[in-house]
Each structure stands twice: as structure tokens, then as C-alpha cells.
């Protein structure tokens, strides 16, 4: 059975500002780089092959992880792991959008998996582009460390738990942790371990 450990990229300035990044190719800020430098991957993930989003904030995260985890395996970039497309809302904050759009935003957010930003993707769209990625990983039979985005992690968590995103998730997903899933058959994810701590202990 194939396992994947999902790791969200380190923080950027847009994260600090609460702005929706989507496809914008932001880089880690100074605080974000320091955060990733302090991460220590537990075994076996400290020696895993890497699958990454193509966006700079994920590539920066991988580069920094390699400075403290000499045993990390080769890296493959898959464009289907890019963050959810926020369309015209990219760069905005949810607070501003809720204030501006009022009841229309309330109704849109209540759609859960079918919530859709103006000109962007729904979480269900994200799941549709991720499904073939997960199925291929099952065929390859190799565990992967997947460096990606919040929207990707939430989409896979929803697939594994049948969460419809109409309410809060059953589990709070920590930013500074691994979210581990096993993949079966056609790539159906099952929760194997949530919020796996990034140990502060040195990795030998």
C-alpha cells in the first residue's frame, strides 16, 4: 500500500497578511524561511522521494529541507499540485470579500465543495485534478513526501473523510505538521496520521 505525507509550504508574506495566494508565485518571507529551517522530518519521511507543486513557495521549502535532511530523495514537480485557483479574488482577504459581497458570499461559502471564487476553481474541481495524481502514485508503489498547499491538503482530507466542507472539518489540520494518508485501489486516500509533529530533534 502506498503512503503519502502532505506538507504545506512555509509561510509567505501573503500568508502573514491573510491574502488569498492561489496561483500567484509568491516566495517564502524571512520568517517563513526560518520556520522551514527549524523543521525536522520524522522517519521515514526524512529519506522520502519528493513530489512538489511547481510554485516557488513549495520549491523554496524543498530547497531548505534539503539543507538539513541530506537523505531526501529526488524531486518530481507535478503542475496538478498547484494551489486552488482563486480567480479574480487572488490577493484579496476573505474578510474584505465577505464585507463587500455580503449574502452572496454567505451563500457561496455554504456550497462547501462547490464553493467557487469568481473565475476560479471549486474544491471539487481540485479533487478532480488530484484523483489521477493519486491513482498514479498507487501504480508507482512508492511512498512520497508531497510539498503542496492548504487547498490541496484540505481537498485530499475531504476525499478521505467524506467531509463536504459545509461545516468545520472534524480535525484541525496544523500548519507545521505532516498529514499522512494511505492510498488504495484507484487512489482513494485514507487517514493514516494527522498532525504528525515535525520534531525539533536533529535528524541523523
Average pLDDT over residues 102-128: 98
Q: What is the pLDDT at residue 204?
A: 39
Residues with catalytic roles: 9, 83
2-197 is classed CATH 3.40.50.740: no
The 10s digit of each residue's pLDDT in 2-32 is 999 999 999 999 999 999 999 999 999 999 9
Cell 481540485 appears where?
126
Sequence-ordered list of residues with C-beta below 8 angstroms from that of 43, at least 6 positions apart, any chain: none
Per-residue pLDDT, 202? 42
- N-to-C CA span, the chain: 27
Tell me the mean pLDDT in the region 139-163. 97
Q: How is residue 100 written as a grid cell?
A: 463587500
Tell me the pLDDT tens digit for each residue of 48-102.
999 999 999 999 999 999 999 999 999 999 999 999 999 999 999 999 999 999 9
> What is the average per-residue pLDDT within 149-175?
96
Give the pairing type, strands 177-184 and 2-8.
Answer: antiparallel
Position 201 scores a pLDDT of 47
Amino acid at each position: 500500500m502506498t503512503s503519502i505525507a502532505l506538507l504545506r509550504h512555509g509561510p509567505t508574506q501573503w500568508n502573514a497578511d491573510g491574502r488569498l495566494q492561489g496561483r500567484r508565485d509568491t516566495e517564502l518571507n524571512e520568517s517563513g524561511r526560518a520556520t522551514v529551517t527549524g523543521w525536522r522530518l520524522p522517519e521515514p519521511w526524512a529519506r522520502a522521494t519528493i513530489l512538489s507543486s511547481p510554485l516557488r513557495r513549495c520549491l523554496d521549502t524543498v530547497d531548505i529541507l534539503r539543507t538539513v535532511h541530506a537523505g531526501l530523495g529526488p524531486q518530481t514537480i507535478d503542475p496538478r499540485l498547484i494551489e486552488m485557483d482563486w480567480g479574480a479574488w487572488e490577493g484579496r482577504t476573505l474578510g474584505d470579500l465577505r464585507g463587500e459581497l455580503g449574502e452572496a458570499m454567505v451563500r457561496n461559502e455554504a456550497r462547501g465543495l462547490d464553493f467557487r471564487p469568481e473565475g476560479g476553481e471549486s474544491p471539487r474541481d481540485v479533487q478532480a485534478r488530484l484523483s489521477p495524481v493519486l491513482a498514479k502514485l498507487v501504480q508507482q508503489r512508492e511512498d512520497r513526501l508531497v510539498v503542496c498547499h492548504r487547498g490541496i491538503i484540505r481537498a485530499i482530507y475531504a476525499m478521505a473523510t467524506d467531509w463536504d466542507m459545509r461545516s468545520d472539518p472534524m480535525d484541525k489540520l496544523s500548519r507545521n505538521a505532516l498529514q499522512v494518508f494511505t492510498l488504495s485501489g484507484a487512489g482513494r486516500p485514507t487517514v493514516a496520521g494527522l498532525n504528525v509533529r515535525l520534531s525539533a530533534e536533529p535528524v541523523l
